[in-house]
Amino acid sequence: MRRALASFSLGLLTSVALAAEDAPLLRVGLSTAWAAPFLSQREGQAPEGLNAELGHLLAQQLKRKASFVMLPRARLDQAAEAGEIDLRCHTNPDWVRQPGLYEWSPPLWALPEVLVGSTNSAPLQRLADMRLDQTVGAVLHYSYPLLDAQFGAGTWKRDDAPAPDKALRKLALGRTQYAVTTQFELSHYLREQPDPPLGRWRLPLGHANAHCAVPRASKVRAADVFAALQALREQGLLDALLRRHGIPTVAVVAAAQSELPALGRDEVEALFLRRLKTLEDGRVPQLLVPGDAWLAPFAEQVLRRSAAQLRAEWSRATFSGGSRKPLQLDTPSQLRAQLRRQPLAIGVLPLHELDASLKILYLP
C-alpha cells in the first residue's frame, strides 16, 4: 500500500513536472551529506528521498519546476550567498555559518540524535560512561553540541564520514566503536541492512529541529515559500510525506530538565491506555495529550489504534471509575508550558513543535 502510494505520488510529481516544463525554476539545494530516508541518489538518476520530494511538492505549490543543486554541505552557504539556490531544507540556524543569509521557516520536523554502538562496544547509559580514546563516527562538518567539547579535548576521537549511512557502515565494520546519527537514518539503515553487528541500546542525545531556509539573495519570496509549506501542512501532504518515509509526526516528550527516563512502547501504551498509573520506578506521571487534530497521529503511530478506539478506551476508564483520561490541552504551546511546569508530566506533541526545552522519551 505504502509502495503504491509512493508510486502514485511520484507519478503525480512527474506529470506535474512535465506540465511545468516552461515554468520558472525553484533551485533547491541538496546536501551530499544526507542519507536515506532524506536523500538517496543512484548514478545518473534524479535525486530521491524525503527532501527531494519536499522540493517537488513546494515547487508544485509555487507553480515552479524543481531543479536540484547537489553540493557538499559546506558549499551550500556559498551557493546561497551567490544567489545560486532558492531554497534549502533540512537545515537549522545553528548548522550554518551565516544564519543571517537566510529567512527561516518554522520547524518542519525534529531530528532526534542518538549514539549507537557496535555489538563489541560497552552499552552506555550516559555519555560520561564512555571510556577514553573511544572512536565515535560522525558526519563531516556537522557539529554535535553534547560531544564537541570531548572531541576538542581529545577525550574521544572523532571519525568523520561523508554521510550518516557511511558512518554506520564504518561502525558495522568495526572501524569505530560508536556512531552518532539521527534515529531516522539509523532506522532506515537497520531496515536496509538485515542484522548488522550493532548493539540494541540507544543513548538519546537530544534533538534538533529541521527548517527550510530561503536565501535572501534568491529572487523567490520567502513568504511565498513559507505559505506553500503551510499549505502542504494544512492539506496533510507534509505529514503524508513523512509517514511515507517512515518518519513519525509525533513524539512522547517531557521537559528537558525532567529526570524521567526514556520509555518503551509497552510502557507508553500501558500509561496512555490508563492500564497503569505508574512508571517502572513507581512514580506517577501526569499525562498530557494534544487537541483533537493530533490525537489520530498519536493513536495510530504510538498506540497502533484509531483515534476512535483510543477515545473508547478512555471513556471506559473514565466511566468505569478507573483512572482519569489524560489531560487534553488544545494547543502545543499550552502543552509545552505545562510540561515545563511539571517535571513529572509526560506529553505528546507534534514533532515540529519540539524545542530545546523538551526531550524525547519515546519516538514511534
Partner 1 sequence: MRRVRMLGWGLLALAPLVQASEGVEEPHPWQIEGYGTLAAHVADDPVVGVRGDGRNRNTSLNGRVRFDGDSLLAVQTRYEFAPGVQAVWQLLARDDVRYGQRPRNEWIYLGWDAQPNLNLKLGRTALPVFLHSETRHLGYAQTTARPVNTVYQLNPFTHVDGLALRHARSLAQGELRTEFSAGRAELALPSGTIDANRMVSLALRYDEGPWSLRVAGSDYRFDMHLANVQRLYSQLIAGTTACTNCAAVLAARAPLEGVHAQVQTVALQHESGSWSLTAEIARRSSNNSIVADSLAWYVLAAHRLGDWSPYAVLGEIRFKEPPLGLQTHPAAPAAARQANQLIDLYLQTPNDRRITQLGLRWDFHARAALKLQWERYRATREGRITGQSHYLEVPAPPPIGPYQGPAWDGRVNQWSLNLDFVF
Maximum distance among all alpha carbons in the chain?
65
Residues that contact partner 1, how many (by CB under 8 A): 35
Strand partners of residue 35:
none
Our finding on whether 262 is near partner 1 (CB under 8 A) is: no
Q: What is the pairing mode between strands 203-215 and 109-117?
A: antiparallel
Closer by beta carbon to partner 1, 14 or else 306: 306
Euclidean distance between CA atoms 117 and 171, whole angstroms: 7
Our finding on whether 269 is near partner 1 (CB under 8 A) is: yes
What one-character DSSP code corresponds to residue 202?
-
CB 84, min distance to partner 1, A? 45
CB 125, min distance to partner 1, A? 21
Q: Which helix (H) or strand (E) holds 237?
A: helix 237-244
Over the window 218 to 257, marking each residue x when it contacts partner 1 by CB under 8 A and - when it does not, the resulting string is ----------------------------------------
CA distances from 148 to 136, 145, 197, 215 (A): 11, 6, 26, 28
Chain residues 68-87 in contact with partner 1, contact rule CB under 8 A: none
Residue 163: count of CB within 10 angstroms of its CB: 21
Identify which range of 48-56, 93-101, 223-231, 277-285 contacts partner 1 by CB under 8 A.
277-285
Residue 64 falls in which region: left (phi positive, over 0), alpha (psi -120 to 50) or beta? beta
Our finding on whether 306 is near partner 1 (CB under 8 A) is: yes
Q: Which of 275, 298, 336, 364 binds partner 1 (CB under 8 A)?
A: 275
Q: Which of 148, 280, 330, 355 binds partner 1 (CB under 8 A)?
A: 280
Euclidean distance between CA atoms 274 and 313, whole angstroms: 8
CB 214, min distance to partner 1, A? 37
Closer by beta carbon to partner 1, 143 or else 235: 235
Orientation angle between helical segments 2-19 and 237-244, nearest 10 degrees: 130
Strand partners of residue 138:
160
Our finding on whether 191 is near partner 1 (CB under 8 A) is: no
Closer by beta carbon to partner 1, 6 or else 276: 276
Euclidean distance between CA atoms 257 and 253, whole angstroms: 11
CB 292, min distance to partner 1, A? 5
Chain residues 307-346 in contact with partner 1, contact rule CB under 8 A: 307-309, 311-313, 315-316, 318-322, 324, 327, 338, 341-342
Euclidean distance between CA atoms 53 and 282, whole angstroms: 45
Q: Which residue ranges make up the site for partner 1 (CB under 8 A)?
A: 266, 269-270, 273, 275-278, 280, 282, 284, 286, 292, 295, 304-309, 311-313, 315-316, 318-322, 324, 327, 338, 341-342
